[in-house]
Structure 1
């Protein structure tokens, strides 16, 4: 048993080292890059119609945890890991400053291959929020977990976390059951240049950075993705100033409110 534990530890350590970039970067630089990568991941999910169940469920999510790159590999003993960032919904519908996590898991059994994945976790309950703001949480144990889109719909009302992923590789699927999320205090400190806890960031709003806007805006757009575009307001009928007769109506386009009415041919030149 001691030898087995040693093998598992060595495998996980080697896999974790493989996740890191070759060039040394500061915690602040790594956190800033993760913010951009997370925003790209959110934008991808928001523009792929295969994830419409995610759009629907996001309306009621209390927080989102984004894992832009999670790697999984192994033979008999498998390991997976990545970096994650969480933002929470504020009372006014906006989204909070980000707090950082690391995510990892080990598995033993017949397995072989390599896989990369992008994942969004929707935190659906207050219980889920409170657990994630603690030091460490285990998905499927401390928090109930369901995979979307299968877990969306009615089950989304009771499950703590809904997971939506896309993956590439030989494993052919993403399994987050048993994965551990742990707060990265050093990344929070590096990003904000202050010693703050996840609760300081999410609830107490002690810190902020303009660089967070790219992720906050992407998450807001995803959470409102299933709402129809606003129609242009009705315009009063125009009349001839001399005769008082109604003038022919100009065509009204559905997207005029967003892009403006089409220009006349002469004006467009």
Structure 2
């Protein structure tokens, strides 16, 4: 779906990394919560690394109401945004973490600026008062070890030194 949007496909070609969340859920009535699991792929020497598995959950406060769910992608446009994942736990892709995060709908309207992160979504549902970003992203030890073996290491996966042939289809789906 993302490749069918020419402008988005062009941004994916420029991205230094991408955090893909196939099933994102968010709900709120003044106090909100969000959660999901996703994979990080990083561009190394023009090629995508195999995925590193992360999960997340966060709580937000403020004037907000609604619910939404669907697929979300965070295009990591700066080295700083990619490097945030190297800490493994408590990663945040939001303004509070010092990142400029732009909703893709604004990019499509021509207001990209110097974004560290571009958030894209096909989520369904109504959510008023929402801000772009995600917090409390954590390295998923169990999924990474299940996928790569018991010696799975965060730095090896992100640097492209860990491989699993099952990732080939995902990597080829992303623009090179």
Question: TM-score, normalised to structure 2's length?
Answer: 0.85
| Aligned CA distance change for structure 1 residues 61 and 178 (closer, same or farther; 3 Å) | closer
| RMSD, matched Cα | 2.3
> Residue 45 of structure 1: SS of its match in structure 2?
coil
Q: Distance in 1 between matches of 2:146 and 2:124?
A: 31
CA drift of 1:98 comes to: 0.5
Q: What does residue 83 of structure 1 align with?
A: 37
State the Cα deviation string for residues 5-56 of structure 1 (Å, max 9, x = none).
Answer: xxxxxxxxxxxxxxxxxxxxxxxxxxxxxxxxxxxxxxx2223xxx332112
**Highest relative contact order (Cα 8 Å, sep 6+), 1 or 2?**
2
Asked whether the 8 Å contact 1:53–1:148 carries over to 2, the reply is no
Q: Distance in 1 between matches of 2:85 and 2:33?
A: 22
Q: Structure 1 residue 117 and structure 2 residue 101: aligned? A: no
Q: What does residue 199 of structure 1 align with?
A: 155
- For these two proteins, the number of residue pairs brought into alignment is 172
State which structure, 1 or 2, has the greater radius of gyration over its C-alpha atoms. 1
CA drift of 1:172 comes to: 6.0
CA drift of 1:211 comes to: 0.7
Q: Structure 1 residue 45 and structure 2 residue 8: aligned? A: no
Q: Name structure 1 gaps, 5 residues minimum.
A: 1-43, 225-269
Structure 1 counterpart of 2:163, from 196, 202, 208: 208
Q: Distance in 1 between matches of 2:26 and 2:68?
A: 5
CA drift of 1:178 comes to: 5.2
Structure 2 counterpart of 1:68, from 15, 18, 22: 22
Q: Distance in 2 between matches of 1:81 and 1:120?
A: 14
> Residue 113 of structure 1: SS of its match in structure 2?
strand
Q: What does residue 119 of structure 2 align with?
A: 163
State the Cα deviation string for residues 180-230 of structure 1 (Å, max 9, x = none).
Answer: 32221221111111332322112150x2111111111111xxx26xxxxxx
| Aligned CA distance change for structure 1 residues 59 and 83 (closer, same or farther; 3 Å) | same
Structure 2 counterpart of 1:185, from 141, 151, 158: 141
Q: Distance in 1 between matches of 2:82 and 2:74?
A: 12
Q: Structure 1 residue 126 and structure 2 residue 83: aligned? A: no
Q: Please state which structure has a larger fraction of its residues in helix.
A: 1
Q: Distance in 1 between matches of 2:80 and 2:131?
A: 22
Question: TM-score, normalised to structure 1's length?
Answer: 0.58
Asked whether the 8 Å contact 2:65–2:129 carries over to 1, the reply is no
